[in-house]
Amino acid sequence: MTDLDQTRVELLGAIAAADAEALETIRVSALGKSGSITALMKTLGQMSPEERQAKAPAIQAFRGAVADAIAERKAALDAAALDARLASERLDMTRPVAAGAEGSVHPVSQVMDELAEIFADLGFAVATGPEIEDDWHNFTALNIPETHPARAMHDTFYFPDEEGRAHRMLLRTHTSPVQIRTMMTQQPPIRIIAPGRVYRSDSDATHTPMFHQIEGLVIDKDIHLGHLRWTLETFLKAFFERDDIVLRLRPSYFPFTEPSVEVDVGYSIEKGRRVIGGSEGWMEVLGSGMVHPKVIAACGLDPDEYQGFAFGTGVDRLAMLKYGMDDLRAFFDGDLRWLRHYGFRALDVPTLSGGVGA
């Protein structure tokens, strides 16, 4: 056995037995700037070409073997350290939460739960659609063709145009594309609500680039504006938990409804604050109307056989009106003080019998 072989056996043995700290010491003393193997490598420079040819392969192989062994040992030690850490930081998720550590339900989630509860009682199912939409579902099928000025009104976040794609992708600007997706996959009678996130490039005290809407859609035979009015009145009475809710329907325009109706709800002033109920003043709360025959036809249904109504409104706005917040941006700041103040206890599930606002 040569000296080199002898050193190699000893070194590899030490590496295999080293802990993290010892391994680093070995690495520095062997492969570091003034390490023994580094010094050995330097001797190659002083050798005659013949000698170098004879000795270099062994020295280089030695260096390679030591470097590999160190890397291998380090990987094994790191893996063992991670396993130990995972074992020691393990949490038993089935144990009760420590007092004071629980989170709260965000007002937006609370209001969405309240809305689902109210509409479930009226026979509506909850439908969903993707937040990354294509412009056909978000606009074209809703009777907003490419050149329509309403496209500009929506301040749309578009994705870069992709070659080979029939429709440009975007972040949905409203929940109305869920109307399309529902009509294309379900047969009437249809009764759905679709709560979810929507996006527009807009930001101030009452606008955030992401906000929440809820869409409602009913498609059946012989549906008329009276059904829409009754549904909205019933929903708003249940939501605001007052019987003196007064609605005012104003003619309006949406490309996907005809006729289109904007819905105001009456408020009164109590102790200097606006509260929903009564009719001292009016607040706009909803967009709605009878689904445009072109939209029904775009989804493959016969508009002579089926009609329906749709409505859409801001969930965040409903939450602000009901629970008295005045800055929309605070909804998405993630400030724990705000969440503790306005949040709801996780076990306070809204029910119609208990009062949805309980």
C-alpha torsion 182→186→191→192, nearest 10: -30
* In the complex, minimum distance from the CB of residue 225 to ligand PHE, in angstroms, rounded to a whole number: 13
* In the complex, minimum distance from the CB of residue 175 to ligand PHE, in angstroms, rounded to a whole number: 7
- Cβ nearer to ligand PHE, comparing 15 with 232: 232
* In the complex, minimum distance from the CB of residue 98 to ligand PHE, in angstroms, rounded to a whole number: 43
* DSSP letter assigned to residue 329: G
Contacts of 269 (CB under 8 A, 6+ apart): 275, 280, 281
Q: Which stretch binds ligand PHE (CB under 6 A): 46-54, 94-102, 235-243, 308-316?
A: 308-316
Interface with ligand PHE, residue 310, by CB under 6 A: yes
**CB crowding 50-81: b at 16 or more within 10 Å, else e:** eeeeeeeeebeebbeebeebbeebbeeeeeee
Q: Which stretch binds ligand PHE (CB under 6 A): 4-12, 38-46, 72-80, 306-314?
A: 306-314
- # binding residues, ligand PHE (CB under 6 A): 11
**Nearest residue relative to ligand PHE (C-beta):** 312
**CB crowding 190-208: b at 16 or more within 10 Å, else e:** bbbbbbbebbbeeeeeeeb
**CB crowding 325-345: b at 16 or more within 10 Å, else e:** beebebbeeeeeebbeebbbe
Q: Which strand (E) or helix (H) includes residue 268?
A: strand 257-270
State the CB neighbour count (10 A cutoff) for residue 236: 22
* In the complex, minimum distance from the CB of residue 309 to ligand PHE, in angstroms, rounded to a whole number: 8
Q: What are phi and psi of 275, to 5 degrees?
A: -125, 140
d(CA 137, CA 144): 10
Do the beta carbons of residue 147 and residue 109 sit within 8 Å? no
* In the complex, minimum distance from the CB of residue 300 to ligand PHE, in angstroms, rounded to a whole number: 20
Interface with ligand PHE, residue 176, by CB under 6 A: yes
- Extract the tokens encoding 113: 């739960």
Interface with ligand PHE, residue 312, by CB under 6 A: yes
Tell me, residue by residue from 220 to 259, as one string, x for binding to ligand PHE by CB under 6 A and - for no binding.
Answer: ----------------------------------x--x--
Tell which one of 172, 174, 317, 322 touches ligand PHE (CB under 6 A). 174
* In the complex, minimum distance from the CB of residue 141 to ligand PHE, in angstroms, rounded to a whole number: 13
Tell me, residue by residue from 276 to 305, as one string, x for binding to ligand PHE by CB under 6 A and - for no binding.
Answer: -----------xxx----------------
Interface contacts to ligand PHE, rule CB under 6 A: 174, 176, 215, 254, 257, 287-289, 310-312
